[in-house]
Structure 1
């Protein structure tokens, strides 16, 4: 896989049973790139390992005054230098390719999971954690995948050096062959502690990121209640905890790095001392001593990869664990669609067996819930994304077909859910409304139904270099330059343009005034008079426009009728819609009872 071939046609199905398994799965997916990196790494490291042999031959040739061997040593050094240069360049190239492609694979997996879960993702995982996984965690995971092949090349090189020195000069080679494994494994007892400290640092950094993300998202609210300093203090405290954890972790890694420097130095001293005695006794030649000395000195280059892989694994494992936790989230139950089932198109009534809610096909159905959180969960369930608490319950049915049994693409085509706080992506208004749609509803019709006239005027006035064309005016990130009501109506227009068979709206007019709300309700009813529309709301202006209204009380649909019928005959409905308290309802009930009693006496 090359960078120019990205993105992947299919990033694969990851092993998300644990962070370590996820890392190993990524390594297997990069097998071709890992092999290339390993081979170039071997060329690079073995070239460096061969330098002592060339230097030793040259020194011995000078001692023996042998010009032929000196020339041969020179040629050998040139060849080794070329191999080192080529290996270094290509090793860096393939390693960076492995890093980028691994990171891209993780990002594609996260994007696919985000598209699959939709708004349910942030209900199950904090938004800050999702941001952390898709940014810093992706880079750390890519680092481990990239470092894996370089570590393998370094390990093979050390084995070759040990074996080669034992064959070349057994007396000194045995010392090196015993010392090198000790050097490589000396830091092993320290790694669990270093890993734990790195885990603590990552957890604290993740919490700080979540806090920062949540603070930025709610900055307008914080300013409204004067809570900026409170949250700033919390973030400052979280940052100090991250700093302390980072210093605590860095001390351990500094100790590991020091050991990686001190122990090779001690081995080098031992080799020189023992080799000098052997040379003085005439048991080895000066060139052989120089060769062994140079080989031991250059092992430091390969040993650094042991420290790096340990550090990469320690930092990437928590990141991989977080990524695996996000990727392990499931849409709902996994049902295999038999051949031919995917071709059937689900049409008809929308029915939720859990609550008993039914939205007849082609009608405007309003749903009233006393709890906004219950309404939000119900909207997700109607869109095919039930909460984890609903696991085991039958999926929502559309025309008798469970949404879970439909392929995700088909389910998204027939049912569209607009959240209470929809997100507007940056770009022009034309880009915003350029969504997968049936083509039956034009952008102008949707904007008119959502009563976006004032929004279009504001965008036209704010346009620069577009000749006052509102459709070409750029909308800032998340529509921050617009008011809450304007953002809400643009999002509604986007949903209306999509023209799904079933449109579920969660409080689509909560941020607009009464006059605009009444006009929007009329626009929705008119534009979707032949489509199934479900609106979760408690506004009388919307409810009065609905063909039928369903009251959901304590998780069950308990009453069905028109707005006026329920307002007259259902106290629980009247309590939600008119905001009457239990005391007021009891007083009204007593008053009604007394009135009936008086009428009876009069009769």
Structure 2
């Protein structure tokens, strides 16, 4: 795989059981790149390792006054220089390629998982953790993958130097062969503590990132209530905790680096002292001593990669664990077995089936406009997710909705999304032209113009044309800024509603689609939805009387269960708990009317149980 070949046509199915297994899976997927990097690394480090022996041969040639031998040494040094230069350049190229391709694969996997789970992802994993995984963690994982081949090349080179010294100068080679493993393993006792400190730093950094993302998302609201200074103080405190944790972690890594400098220095002093004694006793030639000293000095370069691989693994292991935790999530909330694909999906239900939520008992008959009233907004959000085929608890205990008797989370993802579309409370508008906004998978039965008319977007089109560059006459060619920030909240909400109407799915679920518009516009939107979705299954989660009055049937979800359905007017006059939610009566008003919020237990009977 070359960088020019990215992105992957298919990033594969990862082994996301644990962080180390995920790293191993990534490494296996890049064996060709790792082999090329290892080969170039051996050429580079082999050239470096050959320098001491060439220097030793040159010293011996000078001592013997061997001009021909000195010329041969010069030629050997030239070849070694070419090997070092070429190997270094290609090692860097292949190692960076391994890094980028590994990072790209992880990003593709995360993007695919995000598209699969949708808004349910942030219900199971904190938004800050998702951001941390898709940014900093991806780089750390790529760092470890590319460092493996360089470490293997360095380790083989160090072993070759030790073996070469044993044959070239056995007396001094024994000292080096014993000292090098001590150098390589000296930092191992310090790594667990360094890893723990690094984990604390990353945890605090993730919390700070989550706080920052939440603050930015609610910046307009914070400015409106004058709360930006409060949140700025919280973020300042969180960032200082990250700084202190980073300094605490850096001290341990500085100690490891100091050990990596101190012990090799001690080995060099030992080699020089012992070699001088051997030369004095005429047990070692001067050229052999120079070669041994040069070998130990040269060995410090590949030994640095021992420290790097330790650091890379310490940083990438928790990063890989976080990535694996995200990638192991499924629509059912259960972990993905290693190598599991999407086989075994249930067959799509026959068209015209009812939509039923087993958790609450909410039933939306086929072809009807059903409104659902929930006093708890969080419960409404979870219900919308289940109606879209996404169980909302992390343990996977909650069941998804049934469409025509078939569980949506058992269907292939593409099939489920063709059948059911859920628009949540905060839909996102991507930057681009209005025409591009409506370029979504759709049945083709509803035109963008009809959807915009039903969503009452005339003023939105005028606003887009006014802000468009000269020469733009068609509002469909006007550009929308990132997240539609140039539009008001109500305008963004209506554009998102129009986009949902264009898709014309078999089942459309809307969660508070008119919460940011005035009552007159809301009434017209309710009529538009009812007319455009006539004969199609539509579920609206709302508490606005204007929307509820246009619905064919209304269901109240009380204490997690659906009460008997009826029309808005029937429930308003016959169900006190419904009236309390819809009219927002105060407790005093309810007491005057003799209404209890809870109601007698007998009133909870009659819950719809059919699917």
Deviations 1:69-102 (A, max 9, x none): 1121112111111111111111111100110011
SS of the residue 2:564 aligns to: strand
Matches within 5 A, 1:472-491: 472-491=477-496
Contact 1:102–1:145 (CA<8 Å) still a contact in 2?
yes
Which residue among 448, 462, 465 is the counterpart of 1:443? 448
Within the candidate set 410, 430, 434, 2:439 is matched to 434
Partner of 1:154: 154
Separation (CA, whole Å) in 1 of partners of 2:343 and 2:26: 31
Inter-partner Cα distance in structure 1 for 2:231 and 2:344: 55
SS at match of 1:358: strand
Cα deviation 1:406-428 (Å, max 9, x = unaligned): 10110011100000111111122
**1:390 CA drift (Å):** 7.9
* 1:40 to 1:432, Cα distance in 2 relative to 1, 3 A: same
In the TM superposition, what whole-angstrom CA distance separates every residue of 1:305-355 from its partner, at most 9, and x where no partner exists?
Answer: 011111111222222222122212221167998879546655411111222
Alpha-carbon separation, structure 1, partners of 2:549 and 2:15: 51
Residue 551 of structure 1: SS of its match in structure 2?
strand
The answer to whether residue 42 in structure 2 is matched with residue 42 in structure 1 is yes
Q: 1:107, 1:181 → 2: CA distance?
A: 38
Q: Secondary structure at the match of 2:78?
A: helix
The residue that corresponds to 2:9 in the other structure is 9
Q: Secondary structure at the match of 1:534?
A: strand
Matches within 5 A, 1:306-317: 306-317=306-317
1:536 alignment partner in structure 2: 541
Moved more, 405-414 or 29-38: 29-38
Please, which moves more after superposition, 13-22 or 442-451? 13-22
User: Aligned partners of 1:290 and 1:390: how far apart in 2?
Assistant: 66
Q: Distance in 2 between matches of 1:153 and 1:297?
A: 18
Q: Which runs of 5+ in 2 are unaligned?
A: 335-339, 597-611
Q: 1:473: how far off? A: 2.2
Deviant stretches of 4+, over 3 Å: 333-347, 389-395
The residue aligned with 2:22 is 22
- Whether the aligned pair in 2 keeps the contact of 1:425 and 1:432 (CA below 8 Å) is yes
Whether 1:547 and 2:547 are equivalent positions in the alignment is no
Instruction: Report which stretch shifted further, 27-36 or 418-427.
Output: 27-36
Does the CA-based 8 Å contact 1:363-1:547 persist in structure 2? yes
TM-score (norm 2): 0.94
Give the equivalent residue in structure 1 for 2:514.
509
Q: Paired residue for 1:91? A: 91
| Cross-structure match for 2:608 | none
Deviations, residues 411-453 of structure 1 (Å, cap 9, x unaligned) = 0111000001111111221111111111111111111111010
The secondary structure found in structure 1 opposite 2:517 is coil
CA displacement, residues 527-585 of structure 1 (integer Å, 9 cap, x when unaligned): 11021110000101001111111111111111211111111111111111111234423
Give the structure 1 partner of residue 426 of structure 2.
Answer: 421
CA–CA distance in structure 1, aligned partners of residues 475 and 536 of structure 2: 29
Distance 1:581 1:78, change over 3 A: same
C-alpha distance in 2 between matches for 1:394 and 1:243? 43
Determine the C-alpha separation between the residues in 1 that align with 2:556 and 2:256: 65
* Distance verdict in 2 for CA 1:590–1:508, change over 3 Å: closer
Query: Does the aligned pair in 1 maintain the 2:549–2:569 contact within 8 Å?
Result: yes
| CA distance in structure 2 between the partners assigned to 1:318 and 1:178 by the alignment | 34
Residue 354 of structure 1 is matched in structure 2 by 359
* Distance (whole Å) between structure 2 residues aligned to residue 176 and residue 2 of structure 1: 40
What residue is the counterpart of 1:131 in the other structure?
Answer: 131
Q: Is 2:559 the partner of 1:564?
A: no
In 1, the alpha carbon distance for the partners of 2:21 and 2:38 equals: 21
Aligned to 2:100: 100
Cα pair distance change 1:291/1:447, threshold 3 Å:
same
The answer to whether the 8 Å contact 2:13/2:341 transfers is no
Give CA deviations for 1:217-254 in whole Å, capped at 9, x if unaligned.
11111111111111111111111111111111111111
Secondary structure at the aligned position of 1:505 is classed as strand
Question: Is this contact kept in 1: 2:19–2:321, CA < 8 A?
Answer: yes
Paired position in structure 1 for 2:459: 454
Q: Secondary structure of the equivalent of 1:417? A: strand
* 1:451 alignment partner, SS class: coil
Aligned to 1:595: none
Equivalence map 1:166-245=2 (5 Å): 166-245=166-245
SS at match of 2:593: helix
Instruction: Tell me the C-alpha RMSD between the 2 structures.
Output: 1.9
State the alpha-carbon separation in 2 of the partners of residues 347 and 406 from structure 1: 16
Residue 264 of structure 1 aligns with which residue? 264
- State the 1:183 CA deviation: 0.9
Superposed displacement of residue 13, structure 1:
2.1
Is the aligned partner of 1:395 residue 2:400?
A: yes
Q: Can you give the 5+ residue segments of structure 1 that lack an aligned partner in the other structure?
A: 592-603
For the pair 1:111 / 2:116, whether they are aligned, the reply is no
Q: Is the 8 A contact 2:455 2:525 kept in 1?
A: yes
Residues 466-475 or 100-109, more deviating: 466-475
Which residue is 2:52 aligned to?
52
Distance across 2 between alignment mates of 1:501 and 1:440: 12
Q: 1:284 is matched with which residue?
A: 284
Q: Which residue of 2 aligns with 1:520?
A: 525
**Shift, 1:466, TM fit:** 4.4
